[in-house]
Amino acid sequence: MIPLIGILLCIYLVFKGFEIFQIAYVVKDAPRMSIILGVIAIIASIGIAAVFAFMFLMSDPSVRSLVQ
Give whole-number Cα distances, 38 to 20, 29, 50, in Å: 6, 15, 18
14 or 64, greater pLDDT: 14
The helix-helix angle for 2-26 and 32-58 (nearest 10°) equals: 170
Per-residue pLDDT, 68: 64
18 or 62, greater pLDDT: 18
Query: How far apart (Å, rounded) are the C-alpha atoms in residues 24 and 10?
Result: 22
pLDDT, the chain, mean: 86
Query: How far apart (Å, rounded) are the C-alpha atoms in residues 48 and 40?
Result: 12
- Domain parsing of the chain, residue ranges: 2-61
- 29 residue type, one letter: D
pLDDT band at 40 (very low <50, low <70, confident <90, very high): very high
